[in-house]
Structure 1
Amino acid sequence: MKTLLTLLLITHIATGFTALMVGLIPMFSQKGSRLHNRAGLVYVYCMITVAITALLLCGLQPFKMMRLFLTGIAVFSFYLCFTGWRATKQKKGQAAPLDIALTYGTLVIGAAMVLFGTYLLVLNGLSFMPIVFTFFGVLTGQFAWKDYQKRKQPTLKMDWYFQHFIRMGGSYIATFTAAAVTNVPRLLPANAPEWTHTLVWIAPSIVGGMLIGRTVRYYKQKFASKSAGMAVS
């Protein structure tokens, strides 16, 4: 068992690190190029492996609150990554049975995180862990619920494009955050103020969210200008 856990941990760390490195390539390479597509596919495979190994490590090791929470983050990051990748295969909104099953499964996981966070809140009062469990549970469920509702509505033009880079970007932010909260506190001095630890949790989401928002505005303006030019001609 010890050998298996060691192998799973090494695989989890190696694929997580690879995802963080390779994930930068699609962000800065030409969209739709071979480099962009291949690096993105490597990132997807890495995130699948990260999620599977996280679930196995959580189930095979003694219970720890942080381990359970980081497993939830791994599932959340994987779901964003997978649905972001699948958006390029579903430009007309069609969904395969696997997509539907993952949506339902993620809805269950999101609800479980919210319920567990609420339980911790009742048990221990207002503290950091109940808040983050509930917050990320709501966030996870919200993305899955949006996908569930979207399958009942007509797909907007270029909706797949925005879903692709928003979700892939969100997946990278979640993965970076998980890596940061696991490793950065070890590098901080023992007497580091509490706000530095909180900053590690929120800074990636703030910075990453601003960059994604800026990218959305850029491409909306670009597509709007292109549509206006075609209408004039």
Structure 2
Amino acid sequence: MTNILISIHIVFGSLALLTGAMVLFLKKGNALHKRIGKLYFIAGFLGTIISLIIASSPNHYNLFLFTIGILTLYFLLSGFFAFKINAKQLKVLALTMIVTAVVMILYAFYQFSQGSITSGIILIFFGLLGAANSYLVDYRIFIKQGRKLTTKNRISLHIGKMIGSYIAMSTAFVVVNNIFYFRILNWILPAIIGSFLIRHYIRANGKRKKQGAV
């Protein structure tokens, strides 16, 4: 059964990586972008759900894949529904991620006590990443400061979260398959490239809005 799930996961994961790359370089906002983006979300969501099942199974237990899967789901859901979600729903999603992150960090200390240093570091890294993003972006800006979810803010939220989900999936892929000779690159390169793209597309969107207002 697990082998079947792995095969299905590979199909959905490959489709998500392919369509995600396409969306990054397609013209934003048109019908093709929306169709491919929806396909990316579906493939990414299903692939991630299956990966969580596999990573928590006794014979294929993988703490790294499980934690990055949780992070991927958070980014996917908040990014895909950025144009429909309201402040209350965003708050629930953000608080859920924060609570999950706290549990991950607490479990990390248990792993340390058991001598599992690597597992503990992985839990703390992704726990802090999820908590920081959900608190600093979702909770602090849109909820605590009361900033309205305007179209511009929703677009920025969509860009950041969807590319964030692609960063998470890409990181999982390159780490598991050890793509780069220098292992540190497997961990940081997707985040570096993805962060640059987030900044680029958010700035580009801001420029288009300003030009449209002139």
**Structure 1 length normalisation: TM-score?**
0.79
Match of residue 3 from structure 2: 6
Amino acid at match of 2:193: V
**Conserved 8 A contact 2:54-2:60:** no
Task: Please give the secondary structure, in 1, of the residue aligned with 2:82.
Answer: helix
- Between structure 1 and structure 2, the one with the greater Rg is 1
Q: State yes or no: 1:162 paired with 2:163.
A: no
Aligned length: 210
Per-residue CA deviation, residues 170-216 of structure 1 (Å, 9 max, x unaligned), is 1101101100001126xx7xxx6xxx111111111112212221222
Separation in structure 2 between the aligned mates of residue 156 and residue 87 of structure 1, nearest angstrom: 9
**Conserved 8 A contact 1:20-1:172:** yes
Task: Please give the secondary structure, in 2, of the residue aligned with 1:199.
Answer: helix
Unmatched 5+ stretches in structure 1:
none
Determine which of 166, 173, 180 is the counterpart of 2:174. 180
Shift of 1:95: 4.8
Per-residue CA deviation, residues 77-126 of structure 1 (Å, 9 max, x unaligned), is 12101111101223xx3555xx665444333321122122233345549x
Unmatched 5+ stretches in structure 2:
none
Task: Please give the secondary structure, in 2, of the residue aligned with 1:215.
Answer: helix
Per-residue CA deviation, residues 31-71 of structure 1 (Å, 9 max, x unaligned), is 2222111111111111221222122213332474xx12211
**Structure 2 length normalisation: TM-score?**
0.85
Calculate the aligned-residue CA RMSD, in Å. 2.5
Match of residue 110 from structure 1: 101
Amino acid at match of 1:113: M
Match of residue 137 from structure 1: 127
**Conserved 8 A contact 1:113-1:133:** yes
Match of residue 47 from structure 2: 50
Task: Please give the secondary structure, in 2, of the residue aligned with 1:137.
Answer: helix
Q: Percentage identity across aligned positions? A: 28
Q: State yes or no: 1:25 paired with 2:59.
A: no
